[in-house]
């Protein structure tokens, strides 16, 4: 057991108002490029992955997922873009706008395609929310895709680099999956000479997960050559990594840390928790954090006017 009470925190903020002013009162796109800092201490399980989900609610139209990712934090990193420390006490910090951090991934430029860089997360644009129901590539159906319990690879779905693709899906890094939450109709202002303010909410949900063997096999410091059983591999990883114990490692999909331990919520399937269950249990589990950031868009439709100036350059003689 750890020496103190387990705790975790996350900090994110949003700007107050984004103003667009033009003749028609139209807003063509709303984006977010978040920076965030998640840290935890005194856990009984080591954290080796940080899953996060970003959802948006545009003008009260309802929550829609727009991006998901699961950074692997198998080793300590501290550079100009991220700070990550795995273990029972650790952190994951995106120091710069998320798109800049994502674009440091070598897989965006490995020649295997599509090699398309990441941009800010699209909340709303003129294309709008993708018609997910038209897809046939779901491993376990549409509902499992939308609740996060069965995703498959991001390459199964149209990418942000494709015409009409999911605006926030980046198959290069196997992250994103989703598109915008809405089109911009709820944001536009058709009334001449007026302002229209619309509230936009972003919900960030984090799940702290245990490391698994698949993830650890990619670390240069861990060599599973010649090992045939899961127990041998777990022992090897624990011997090589000082932040890790054998009991921390999952052989299959990574589970949420401290499932059912020390009064934390006990999930029947701790390696496949639906989004709504994560959000509903954010106050009941130390490994789940959920926070909402709110900002406004203001569409200013400039007042109409007309007139004529010039000269006929007449002359009489």
pLDDT (tens digit per residue) in 56-97: 999 999 999 999 999 999 999 999 999 999 999 999 999 999
For residue 306, pLDDT beyond 50 = no
Please report which confidence band the pLDDT of residue 195 belongs to, taking 50, 70 and 90 as the band edges.
Answer: confident
Q: Which residue has the tokens 């929310």?
A: 129
Burial class (CB in 10 A: 0-12, 13-18, 19+), 49: buried
CB atoms within 10 A of CB 207: 26
Beta bridge partners of residue 52, listed in sequence order: 69, 206
Average pLDDT (117-134) is 96
The answer to pTM > 0.85 is yes
Please report which confidence band the pLDDT of residue 25 belongs to, taking 50, 70 and 90 as the band edges.
Answer: low
- The percentage of residues in the chain with a pLDDT greater than 70, rounded to a whole number, is 90
Give the integer Cα–Cα distance in Å for 125 and 31: 9
Average pLDDT (108-126) is 94
Give the integer Cα–Cα distance in Å for 42 and 6: 5
Please report which confidence band the pLDDT of residue 4 belongs to, taking 50, 70 and 90 as the band edges.
Answer: confident
Both tokens assigned to 33: 């490029």
């Amino acid at each position: 057991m750890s020496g103190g009470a387990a705790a975790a925190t996350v900090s994110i903020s949003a700007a107050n108002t984004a103003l667009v002013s033009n003749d028609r009162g139209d807003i063509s796109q709303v984006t977010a490029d978040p920076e965030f800092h998640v840290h935890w201490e005194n856990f009984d399980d080591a954290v080796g992955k940080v899953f996060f989900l970003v959802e948006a609610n545009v003008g009260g139209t309802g929550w829609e997922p727009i991006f998901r990712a699961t950074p692997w934090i198998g080793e300590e990193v501290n550079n100009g873009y991220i700070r990550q420390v795995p273990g029972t006490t650790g952190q994951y910090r995106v120091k710069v706008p998320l798109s800049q951090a994502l674009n440091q991934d070598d897989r965006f430029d490995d020649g295997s395609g599509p090699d398309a860089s990441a941009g800010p997360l699209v909340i709303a644009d003129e294309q709008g929310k993708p018609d997910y129901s038209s897809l046939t590539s779901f491993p376990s159906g549409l509902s499992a895709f939308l609740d996060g319990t069965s995703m498959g690879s991001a390459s199964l779905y149209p990418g942000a680099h494709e015409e009409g693709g999911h605006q926030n899906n980046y198959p290069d890094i196997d992250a994103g999956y989703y598109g915008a939450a809405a089109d911009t109709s709820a944001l536009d202002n058709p009334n001449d000479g007026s302002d229209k303010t619309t509230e936009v909410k972003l919900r960030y949900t984090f799940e702290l997960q245990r490391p698994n063997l698949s993830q650890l096999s990619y670390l240069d410091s861990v060599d599973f050559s010649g090992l045939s059983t899961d127990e041998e591999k777990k022992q090897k990883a624990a011997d090589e990594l000082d932040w890790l114990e054998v009991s921390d490692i999952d052989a299959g999909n990574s589970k949420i840390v401290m499932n059912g331990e020390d009064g934390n919520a006990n999930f029947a399937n701790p390696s496949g928790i639906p989004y709504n269950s994560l959000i509903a249990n954010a106050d009941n589990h130390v490994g789940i954090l959920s926070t909402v950031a709110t900002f406004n868009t203001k569409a200013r439709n400039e007042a109409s006017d007309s007139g004529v100036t010039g000269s006929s350059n007449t002359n009489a003689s």
